[in-house]
Structure 1
Amino acid sequence: MKRSLVISYQLSLYFQYHSVCCYFIIQGHWFGPGRAEVPGLQPLDSPETHVLSLWLGSLAGVAPAEADILDLNEMVRQVTGKIPIFFYSSYGCYCRIGGQGQPRDATDWCCYDHNCCYGYLTPHNCDYLYDHYDYTFFQGNVQCSTKGSWCEQQLCACDKTLAFCLQRNLNTYKNHLRHLSRCEGETLACPPAS
Structure 2
Amino acid sequence: MQPTVPLSDIDPVEAIQLVFHELKHHEETGRKNFVVRVPVDLVEYLFSGILQKSGMSKVALERLLTELGIYGFKDADGRILRRYLSGQTRMAWDTYQRLLFWALSKAWVSDWIFRDLLLRTYLREAAQLSARNILNTLKRRVSPSDLTREQVIECFNEVYLLKQREREETALNRARTDSEIRELARSLRLDIID
TM-score band, normalised by the shorter chain?
A: under 0.3
The structure carrying a bigger helix percent of its residues is 2
The structure carrying a bigger strand percent of its residues is 1
Question: Could you say which structure has the larger radius of gyration?
Answer: 2
State the TM-score, normalized to the length of structure 2: 0.22
State the TM-score, normalized to the length of structure 1: 0.22
